[in-house]
Amino acid sequence: MRKHQTLAASALIGLLLNAQFGVSQLGLSQQRGDSGPVDASRYATTTPIKHLIVIIDENISFDHYFGTYPDAVNPPGEPSFIAQPNTPAINGLTSTLLTSNPDAAAPFRLDRSEATTCDNDNHYTDEQKAYNGGLLNQFSGLLSGVGADCTPNLSMGYYDGNTVTALWNYAQNFAMSDNFFASNFGTTVMGHLNLIAGQTHGAVPANVAGKVVNGSVIVNIDPVTDDCNTGSAIEMTGKNIGDLLNSKGITWGWFYGDWTPTGSSNGKVQCGTEYDSHYAPFQYYQSTANPHHLKPSSVEKIGQTDQANHQYAITDFWNALQSGNLPAVTFLKPPHLQNGHPSDSTPLAEQEFLVQTLNRLQESPDWKSTAVLITYDDSDGWYDHVMPPIVSTSSDSANDALLGPSGLCGTSKPGAYQDRCGYGPRLPFLAISPFARKNYVDHSLADQSSIIRFVEDNWQLGRIGDQSFDAIAGPITGLFDFTGRGVIFEQPLILDPTTGKPQGRW
pLDDT for 187-200, tens place per residue?
999 999 999 999 99
Helix axes of 7-21 and 23-32: crossing angle, nearest 10 degrees: 70
Ordered domains of the chain (ranges, CATH) = 7-479 (3.40.720.10)
Task: Break the chain down into helix, strand, coil percent, rounded to 5.
Answer: 30, 15, 55
> Across residues 38-54, what is the average pLDDT?
95
**What confidence score (pLDDT) does residue 11 get?**
40
Q: Does residue 23 have a pLDDT over 50?
A: no
> Across residues 303-313, what is the average pLDDT?
98
pLDDT category of residue 490 using cuts at 50, 70 and 90:
low
pLDDT category of residue 34 using cuts at 50, 70 and 90:
low
> Across residues 424-438, what is the average pLDDT?
97
> Across residues 297-304, what is the average pLDDT?
97
Q: Is the peptide bond before 389 cis (omega within 30 degrees of 0)?
A: no
> Across residues 262-282, what is the average pLDDT?
95
Please give the residue that has the higher pLDDT: either 404 or 399. 399
Task: Check: CB of residue 178 under 8 Å from CB of residue 68.
Answer: no
Task: Check: CB of residue 157 under 8 Å from CB of residue 107.
Answer: yes
pLDDT category of residue 393 using cuts at 50, 70 and 90:
very high
Cα 40 from Cα 31, distance rounded (Å):
10
**What confidence score (pLDDT) does residue 489 get?**
52
Burial class from Cβ neighbours inside 10 Å (0-12, 13-18, 19+) for residue 89 reads exposed
**What confidence score (pLDDT) does residue 30 get?**
40
Q: Does residue 4 have a pLDDT over 90?
A: no
Residue 433 CB neighbours (<10 A): 26
**What confidence score (pLDDT) does residue 405 get?**
73
Cα 449 from Cα 463, distance rounded (Å):
11
Q: Does residue 32 have a pLDDT over 50?
A: no
* Cα–Cα distance list, 83 to 157, 163, 170, 272, 375 (Å): 22, 15, 12, 42, 22
pLDDT for 136-190, tens place per residue?
999 999 999 998 889 999 999 999 999 999 999 999 999 999 999 999 999 999 9
**What confidence score (pLDDT) does residue 404 get?**
77
Cα 349 from Cα 347, distance rounded (Å):
6
What mean pLDDT is reported for the chain? 92
pLDDT for 323-372, tens place per residue?
999 999 999 999 999 999 999 999 999 999 999 999 999 999 999 999 99
pLDDT category of residue 36 using cuts at 50, 70 and 90:
confident
Amino acid at the residue 282: F
pLDDT for 440-458, tens place per residue?
999 999 999 999 999 999 9
Burial class from Cβ neighbours inside 10 Å (0-12, 13-18, 19+) for residue 206 reads middle
**What confidence score (pLDDT) does residue 163 get?**
98
* CA neighbor of 39 nearest in space, from 365, 350, 283, 262: 365
pLDDT for 365-379, tens place per residue?
999 999 999 999 999
Cα 386 from Cα 472, distance rounded (Å):
20
pLDDT for 309-329, tens place per residue?
999 999 999 999 999 999 999
* CA neighbor of 463 nearest in space, from 254, 280, 200, 238: 238
pLDDT category of residue 485 using cuts at 50, 70 and 90:
low
Q: Does residue 19 have a pLDDT over 80?
A: no
Task: Check: CB of residue 369 under 8 Å from CB of residue 363.
Answer: no
**What confidence score (pLDDT) does residue 5 get?**
37
**What confidence score (pLDDT) does residue 37 get?**
79
